[in-house]
Structure 1
């Protein structure tokens, strides 16, 4: 399941409702009829018992916009938007009470002024200490500036490594960071 558009709280004992899009070629047989069919995806609406123990019902209780649910290999990734940091703390606390194995992977704060941006979380923790040091040194020396202020030989000498090793460290670090920026895996 992906691209959850809404998860709505139950009102006075009514069912909670979740709407989501599913790739047309990946619809399970037990889903029934879609609410709407696009060329490559189908929109479904599912009603949940207000007492159901699932994340979409929990988020619906907070009237929280859900960006997406993504289920894979027994794990569930939930992306939602909290109105405030206090609401986020309350929701995370509720999730931890209900789902003991919950693990917060990313918190992203949207820009508060100006035009909205396409923000993504970049996990520097994926980099080794050496890769981070190499990137930082190359950046500080102007290796990535236009025009370039330092070449690979200069940066490698500063780090006491060969230019070839510098290139390997930079390529490995860039590959990891680009995976986050391009949202290609976790």
Structure 2
């Protein structure tokens, strides 16, 4: 089976993309972007998108080229790099599969050929856009049997939360019957039981969020 990975990433600053900036200024949403295909390197590709608003913003870098009712069509050329996340993905040969800009947040879905490419892409995105948030990672099944594989983003855990959940696991806290109770795990971590429970609950909430939101 293919080793590809479907990734959903989110950016919480509209300035990373002029499409997201215009959608934010218009208090509208953009979920479809069309892009032209060019035959040679001397011709720049062109992107188009529609913003629905009764009053299109006039303080943006683009003006609509066509309007019908409350829908306004914008177009811009990629002849000059803008440093947006979509261009970054394009440098790795990963086209954007889904695009959604709303209320200042940009969400992109793309596919990486394998885990190594995913690491390179995410690393570069985080280097250029520090606020990059991995929302979901789904991997293709690796056998002929139906599968439902996902990635859990362990980087969401704080150092302390990771230490708590790893210690609890190693001491058999999650086994039945338990190899250690909460008091014993807390003692091994040199914290009280209440603090242990708080860290454990926070860590499990983050990890389960990845699992359940991917369904």
Structure 2 residue 86 is the aligned partner of structure 1 residue 49: no
What is the aligned residue count? 163
Matched, 1:113 2:142: yes
What's the secondary structure of 1:66's corresponding residue?
strand
Q: Report 1:84-163 matches (<5 A).
A: 101-103=128-130, 105-106=133-134, 110-111=139-140, 113-114=142-143, 115=146, 117=148, 119-129=150-160, 131-163=161-193
Residue 168 of structure 1 is matched in structure 2 by: 198
In structure 1, distance between residues paired with 2:185 and 2:140: 34
Structure 2 residue 46 is the aligned partner of structure 1 residue 28: no
Does the C-alpha gap of structure 1 residues 180 and 48 become closer, same or farther in structure 2, counting only changes over 3 Å? Answer: same
Which residue number in structure 2 is paired with residue 41 of structure 1?
Answer: none
Q: Identify which range, 115-124 or 54-63, moves more after superposition.
A: 54-63
State the TM-score, normalized to the length of structure 1: 0.54
Separation in 2, partners of 1:172, 1:123: 13
Unpaired segments ≥5 residues, structure 1: 35-43
Return structure 1 stretches of 4+ with deviation > 6 angstroms: 90-93
SS, match of residue 109 in structure 2: strand
Q: Tell me if the contact between 2:44 and 2:79 (Cα under 8 Å) persists in the aligned partners.
A: no
CA distance in 1, matches of 2:147, 2:73: 29
Would you say 1:68 and 2:68 are equivalent positions?
no
Once the 2 structures are TM-superposed, how far is the Cα of residue 71 of structure 1 from its aligned partner?
5.3
Structure with more relative contact order (C-alpha pairs < 8 Å, separation 6 or more): 2
Q: Report the 3-state secondary structure (helix = DSSP H, G, I; strand = E; otherwise coil) of the residue aligned with 1:81.
A: strand
Unmatched runs of 5 consecutive residues or more in structure 2 = 1-28, 57-63
Distance in 2 (alpha carbons) for counterparts of 1:163 and 1:110: 37
Q: Quick check: 1:152–1:163 contact (8 Å CA) kept in 2? A: yes
Gap change, CA 1:159 and 1:63, over 3 Å in 2: closer
Q: TM-score, normalised by structure 2?
A: 0.49
Instruction: Tell me the CA shift for residue 136 of structure 1.
Output: 1.0
- The alpha-carbon deviation at position 135 of structure 1 amounts to 1.0
